Amino acid sequence: MLNIEHRNYIKVPASIVYEVLTSSKGLGEIWTKKLDVQAKEGYINIFDFDEGYLTKMKILRLEPNSTIVWECIASDEQWVGTGVSFELTEKDQITTVVLKHTNWRELTDFYQWCNYNWALFLQRLKIYCEKQHDF
């Protein structure tokens, strides 16, 4: 199994990053505006990227300001059965975000493309959080 892992540092408290990653407003600004999202364990978040299918992520775990864990239950076949997690730690109002996309079955072009796009996702998250909450 292969994993994608990225780390970024965002100059805002973890509570702000958590709110962006668990809300329709936040994810709509950094991922896709076509979505149905709730911050509730067991809920199935739905994302539409205009690719002819919906991406559905079941929320397995939410620990406020700390951990978000999703399981992909519908999407591109290479995503189904994979997990996405965000681990947040804060020190001196700087939040470290570790994003993991785990349980890829093989190294493919799509895996490499997604790896690149997760890095862009974290960059958009950083820019959005810091711009919206300038201290």
pLDDT attached to residue 132: 81
* Domains detected in the chain: 2-132 (3.30.530.20)
Residue 31's pLDDT band (boundaries 50, 70, 90)? very high
Distance CA 127, CA 3 (A): 25
Q: Read off the pLDDT of residues 79-135 as tens digits, 9 standing for 90 and up.
A: 999 999 999 999 999 999 999 999 999 999 999 999 999 999 999 999 999 998 754
- Positive or negative, the CA dihedral 19, 53, 121, 69 is positive
| Mean pLDDT, residues 48-64 taken together | 96
The residue assigned the tokens 């990653």 is 21
pLDDT attached to residue 134: 57
Q: Enter the pTM of the model.
A: 0.95
Instruction: Tell me the sheet residues that pair with 34.
Output: none
